[in-house]
Each structure stands twice: as structure tokens, then as C-alpha cells.
Amino acid sequence: MTRAVVGDRGHLGRRQLLSDDVFRALRDAVLDGVLEPGERLRDDELVRWLGVSRTPIRNALDRLRGAGLVELAANRWTRVRDPDDSVLGDSAAVVAALHRAAAVIALARLDDRSVDEVSVGLGAARPVVRRGARAPATVEVLRCVGVAVGGVAARAPVEVLATSFAEAELRLAHGLRSRRCVVDLGVWDDFVASALESLAARDGGAWGDAVGQLLRRVAATGR
């Protein structure tokens, strides 16, 4: 994790960069398990750890709260959120719905070359899934799966979808990591088989159904 350094406080661009750096550092610490679900987040400790002032710390914590990774009780505590099964299920449903919406738009426009690229991405994820299939999913596995599954959504030319994905997938990743969910190799292979069929048919609805089934089965492994 890069140690941030307070720069010129009068420069708006630098302040924003610093705030973004702190947000990314705390986000990654939560997803990597350095900051665990339920752990208290104290301003003074975070200031010493990251080497920044209190203002970017508070800004980053507010953003993390908005993203569902942090919760607080005013004037009492701030802590890493420990999402329950309903939160995880809701996050999975929202992400699946976004994939469906993106696929309906994108698949009707994709040429054969783009479809082949998505297919290759699905195949490239398998070795990573296989290596991690017997343990709770790591950030590496989730990122790899996310890139592979997102190969269609990335080609949907709708900016609002990209913005919605950013927050929804962050919530989902936190839920999957917190609940120690597993991406089973058989579950992944089932998804890929269905996904390839939907690609061949240019069927965005079927792609969305395949993503939804994958996320439900992975979320069901949580404990």
C-alpha cells in the first residue's frame, strides 16, 4: 500500500488526488481483509497509519459508507460493515440485473471478433478459479471473475451503467469476501457453458440469467 503524503493544501487537484488515494487504500484494506468486518475505524489510528490529515480520512470513510463497506453510529463509532445474507443476496441480484441490462444493449451490437474476445476472457479465468476453488475467494479470484463476466458489460456504451456497476460490484465483492464465499470450479464451468450459448445466440437476457445463476450459487456458499 502506497503511503500518501500531504501536499499543497491550497491546490484543489492535489486535495482530490489525496482523498482518492486514501479511499482506494482503505477500500483495498477492507477487501483484502487487512481491515476485518466489525473492526472499529478510529481517525487517529488511520491518520498515523496512512500518514495523512483527518480531512481526507473522513472524506474516504464517508465514501466507503455510501458504498456499503463502512457503517457508523454518530459520535459513537465507525466500523467495517459485516454484511448479512440478505445484504449479500440483494447485492448479487442488483449486479446480475445490471449485467442483464448491459448485455441486452451490447450483444445486439457485438461483431464476431468482440464475441470471440469475450469467450477468450471466460476461458482465461478458469485457471485462476481452479487454483482458488477449495478456499474462500481471494481478491485475485474475484477480480479475475469480475473481468471475465464483465466482458459484455464493458462493451455497452451507456455511461450510467458503468457508474452503477462501480458501486454495486464493490458492495458485492465486500459481501463475498466477508461471508467467505467460494467460487467452485464446477459452478464456474456451468456458467461458462451457459454464457457461451447466450453469446452465440446474441441473447442478452440469457446472459443475464447465466450471471444471476452464477452469483446466486457463489453467494449460497457464504458462512
Domain boundaries, given as residue ranges, for the chain = 12-80, 85-219
159 has a pLDDT exceeding 90: no
CATH class (in words) of the domain with range 85-219? mainly alpha
Judge whether 100 and 153 are in contact, CB under 8 Å: no
pLDDT value for 163: 81
Give the phi and the psi of residue 85 in degrees, each rounded to 5: -60, -35
What is the per-residue pLDDT across 189-221, written as a single tens digit (0 to 9) for each?
Answer: 999 999 999 999 999 999 999 999 999 999 999
This prediction has a pTM of 0.84
Lowest mean pLDDT among 8-12, 113-117, 124-128, 174-178: 8-12
pLDDT value for 3: 26
pLDDT value for 166: 86
- Confidence band, pLDDT 50/70/90 cuts, at residue 126: very high
Give the phi and the psi of residue 141 in degrees, each rounded to 5: -65, -45
140 has a pLDDT exceeding 80: yes
The total of other beta-carbon atoms located within 10 Å of residue 200's CB is 11
The total of other beta-carbon atoms located within 10 Å of residue 113's CB is 7
* Residue indicated by cell numbers 479470484: 141
d(CA 50, CA 11): 20
Give the mean pLDDT of the chain.
89
Give the phi and the psi of residue 76 in degrees, each rounded to 5: -125, -60
Q: Is the dihedral of CA 41, 17, 32, 162 positive or negative?
A: positive
DSSP state of 40: B
Of 213, 32, 28, 25, which Cα lies nearest the Cα of 136? Answer: 32
Judge whether 53 and 6 are in contact, CB under 8 Å: yes
* Residue indicated by cell numbers 445463476: 213
**The CATH number of the domain covering residues in 12-80:** 1.10.10.10
Beta bridge partners of 40: 79
pLDDT value for 15: 57
What is the per-residue pLDDT across 49-107, written as a single tens digit (0 to 9) for each?
Answer: 998 999 999 999 999 999 899 998 877 899 999 988 888 999 999 999 999 999 999 99
